[in-house]
Chains A and B, each alone.
Chain A
């Protein structure tokens, strides 16, 4: 293993981690407000296909990213309407959203397979990007790599330090008390679910516009589910998401760099690593019931209906 292999490996880790950071942060906020949305995978796919399609037809990557967020938000709205207004089971509805998103994205994307777009450009900072070692490692990424980290920091600050964050956490712990004090529980949960949708859509679009600038059916390959696991891994705290996502990003790109590191293992087994790592990490986190009990929002997954 040499530095020649290490730098591209570490640099591509950031690319693989970014969609996870985005999707997991969105889901984290929804879960902190008490809503478990298992539809992340579906929303990411809808975002990926929409972002790619719009970019392909308009030539504007920013429009593509915007459209991806809006489209995924629209599917999140279906989920929100069903679980928050119609009081359906969150687990079942989330599964439905994923299955729907898989079908919808394949349907929308049927004319997009095999095409390609210019990928989201890497930024270049004067002087900084040219520093040996640190330049390629820190200062040559695209805007969403930096943006996703900023998003985590802002989200963490919002949840911990602002009034809005306090209310979101309160209704996640006890919607009944929140409602009694006069907070609009349902409206706020709509907001957090939509935010989760927008971030999942952006994460999906990152896959189809930056990581591999093309559309392939089911291209998220379980990343939406890994994002859900990351929220648990992070014990519902935004900062943990970065650590987890970069860990998983590293494991994900290992398969492409495995040969450079001299690993003589069939590629399929290297591709299994992110999924196996998710399981191992989940076991470690959930092994101690206190860790989960102390950090998990008390009302997570339970519906709330205000009796006036």
Chain B
């Protein structure tokens, strides 16, 4: 029999190893699932997890889908570190897409290099405005930001649906619920000819570095980290919780909003009833798998992007249900949370428990 024992200090090795362990466990479970679905597990594994990354086009798609995941994930991670739970990134993304889309449609006939920056700015502001609601209600009325930000996701979806069915519908669009296609000046430039990866990926990289700088090299970032790791110490030091909440929501809202612009000014090219297959929710997983660290988030976004693309290719080539992607996503986070156990604990044979050194009592492990 083995029993769990508290480590004297958290294992740094496991901090890095646990996302890998989780990914590995997910891959294994996935392969088993493939064989249950009557497929050759090895072939399923290859088609799902390897093949998408073997062609240049596939890598381009990988970066394309990793872009909104990185943008949302990096922003959310900043907040999660400070115990601020913005889970409404998908709504902020949608509002950003609407704001950016409105700029594009308003300047439909203008061909100027200023349109794209203006769209990105509008998207960031749209996301921030939507994120400001939970931030305001939390700081002013102590209302749960989890529930408010989540509720606003549905409101944003419905608002977009209203716009493309009503005021923004393309009059020449055969009554399809979509806006006009954006003009060329309102589309993000493609990075490599033949691929769909666009400049939004560079923006995401830039902001990832920016977020890293913010959280490790600025006092505001430091305050947020302390508030997450040791709330009592943060209060004692006089760090304002309200400021953290606002910062977290403004940053993650702006980044999610820009992700929305990246979608409508990128692969979509217009406003549609839905502009995100749940990137804002998948970004929660991305943030955790990335250890809430900007660089980790970038890597995790690539893994999550692979899950999306692998799901599509498995559907096309092996008729596997595309819904399997969502299953893998959820599974990945479960495995990660379980593997994180070994950051603080280790297995020990039970019989030697009598001689074990009693560590500092930590009965209640607050989050």
Contact = CB atoms under 8 A, between A and B. Distances in A.
Contacts of B365: 87, 303, 305
Interface string B139-156: 001111011101111110
Q: Is the interface of B mostly helix, strand, loop or mixed?
A: helix
B144 A96 contact: no
Contacts of A88: 337-338, 340-341
B367 interface: yes
A103 B326 contact: yes
Given A100-B327, A282-B143, A176 B337 contact: no
Contacts, number: 163
B363 A286 contact: no
Contact of B328 (A90, A95, A103, A286): A103
B281 interface: yes
Contacts of B103: none
A244 to B, nearest CB: 13
A282 B326 contact: no
B232 interface: no
Given A93-B337, A292-B142, A103 B327 contact: yes
B137 A279 contact: yes
B38 to A, nearest CB: 14
B87 to A, nearest CB: 6
A292 B142 CA distance: 10
A289 B143 CA distance: 10
B147 A282 contact: yes
B364 interface: yes
Nearest to A106: B323
Contacts of A90: 367
B48 interface: no
Most chain B Cβ neighbours within 10 Å, of A78, A91, A100, A283: A100
B271 to A, nearest CB: 14
A92 B288 contact: yes
Contact of A268 (B141, B161, B331): B161
A295 interface: no
Interface in B327-367: 327-331, 333-334, 337-338, 340-341, 344, 361-367
Contacts of A211: none
B323 A222 contact: no
B267 interface: no
B197 interface: no
B285 interface: yes
A197 interface: no
A101 interface: yes
Q: Which of B325, B326, B333, B341 has the most CB of A within 10 A?
A: B326
A129 interface: no
B142 A289 contact: yes
B328 A272 contact: no
A228 B62 CA distance: 36
Nearest to A308: B353
B159 A268 contact: yes
Given A107-B323, A286-B143, A275 B154 contact: yes
Nearest to B325: A103
A107 B327 contact: yes
Contact of A306 (B85, B141, B337, B363): B363
B326 A225 contact: no
A278 B282 CA distance: 24
A86 B142 contact: no
B363 A176 contact: yes
A116 interface: no
A148 B334 CA distance: 31
B324 interface: yes
Interface in A190-234: 217, 221-222, 225-226, 228-229, 232
B284 interface: yes
A93 B284 CA distance: 11
A99 B289 CA distance: 14
Interface in B271-287: 278, 281-282, 284-285
Given A88-B341, A101-B330, A110-B321, A222 B142 contact: no
B213 interface: no
Contacts of A272: 154-155, 158-159
Nearest to A222: B154
Given A275-B152, A283-B141, A303-B366, A92 B361 contact: no
Nearest to A278: B151
B162 interface: yes
B364 A302 contact: yes
A169 to B, nearest CB: 18
Contacts of B51: none
6 contacts: A91-B146, A95-B87, A107-B321, A222-B153, A222-B154, A302-B366
Given A102-B281, A302-B366, 20 more contacts: A38-B146, A86-B337, A96-B333, A99-B284, A99-B285, A103-B329, A104-B326, A104-B330, A222-B151, A228-B147, A229-B147, A268-B158, A269-B158, A272-B158, A272-B159, A275-B154, A276-B155, A279-B143, A289-B142, A305-B365
